[in-house]
Amino acid sequence: MTSLTLRTATGATLVALVLGAALLPQARSQVQVQMTPNFAPMGVASNGTSSTAWFYEPSSGRAMACQTAPVAGGLSPIQCVTVKLPRAEP
């Protein structure tokens, strides 16, 4: 076998291995847990130039406040802040 044939065969083998690894499905666990937060609306307030809405996620004890920021001549962007609330001691 010549060195050119050997290099070509080695290159083709590497390409086949890379393509095979990319096309194989990834192994997945049988248990899939969704960790998406489930915020419940708590209240809203408005003062004319901005509005604020409060949400609460009971399972984690997190609260989120979202407020619009006034912008001249365009859509108001929304800024949100999330904090973990302290748990009440029994």
Average pLDDT score over residue span 17-42: 65
In this predicted structure, which of 5-19, 28-42, 44-58, 69-83 has the lowest mean pLDDT? 5-19
pLDDT tens readout for residues 51-89: 899 999 988 889 999 998 777 777 778 899 999 988 777
At residue 54, the 3 state secondary structure works out as strand
| Residues 84 and 60: beta-carbon distance below 8 Å | yes
- Mean pLDDT value of segment 9-20: 54
Every domain of the chain and the residues it spans? 3-84
**CB 28: neighbour CB atoms within 10 A?**
7
Instruction: Give the whole-angstrom CA distance, residue 35 versus residue 62.
Output: 14
Report the mean per-residue pLDDT for the chain.
75
| pTM recorded for the entire structure | 0.53
